[in-house]
Chain A
Amino acid sequence: NAGVTQTPKFQVLKTGQSMTLQCAQDMNHNSMYWYRQDPGMGLRLIYYSASEGTTDKGEVPNGYNVSRLNKREFSLRLESAAPSQTSVYFCASSEATGVVYEQYFGPGTRLTVT
């Protein structure tokens, strides 16, 4: 069981470039999430997907789009990267909607936008 995997681990982009962060989970979880982590700010939710075929905005969705490709995969796209999007991005999954289960996190993608 790999749990939650993320690719790439590191990425440097120039302002205006686009990229997609990939996330996959092998735990058959319904719900998946994208967070960003910035120093002193904790984790802030970007987008989430309660189940396959649905996505919703979180606290800081501007500048991002997501795709829930299937039950396993949830990708995050930056269409036109900005320096303010320099951050560490975490993908997470949890077991079910409307029921409290802990989240399982991937190892993160460290993104720098110059």
Chain B
Amino acid sequence: AQSVTQLGSHVSVSEGALVLLRCNYSSSVPPYLFWYVQYPNQGLQLLLKYTSAATLVKGINGFEAEFKKSETSFHLTKPSAHMSDAAEYFCAVSRGSYIPTFGRGTSLIVHP
């Protein structure tokens, strides 16, 4: 079975600070990994995905994530937070089945 753990239900940063949202996965075969973002009162939209090509994946809005097999991690980072980044972020894993398993989400709070 596959599973995803997002460490920290809430992460708070100051505007301009580094954003780091953590995701660890469990999968018996090489996984496909995704980060989605959900802005208030909206549906989810894809930020980026890892599908066994480059281990460093760049997404929209300046976000990127690095696949580390040895650590079973796929953490999401952004060098400088903006107020508009405040949202809920979900990590998801898929391993051959086309149906991903989602983490419980991390709420990113950005302070001025």
Binding site for B on A (CB under 8 A): 4, 31, 33, 40-43, 45, 48, 50, 58, 90, 92, 94, 96-103, 105-108
Contact = CB atoms under 8 A, between A and B. Distances in A.
A100 B44 CA distance: 17
A103 B102 CA distance: 12
Contact of A90 (B41, B43, B105): B43
Interface of B: 9, 32, 34, 36, 41-46, 49, 51, 90, 94, 96, 98-100, 102-105
In the A-B complex, list the 8 residue pairs whose CB atoms are closest, starting with the nearest. Answer: A105-B43, A42-B104, A43-B102, A102-B46, A105-B44, A100-B32, A42-B102, A107-B43
Contacts of B36: 105
A103 B100 contact: yes
A2 to B, nearest CB: 12
A43 B32 CA distance: 18
Tell me if B's interface is mostly helix, strand, loop or mixed: loop
Nearest to A33: B99
B43 A40 contact: no
Contact of B105 (A42, A48, A94): A42
A41 B104 contact: yes
Contacts of A108: 41-43
A90 B42 CA distance: 10
Nearest to B44: A105
Nearest to B103: A42
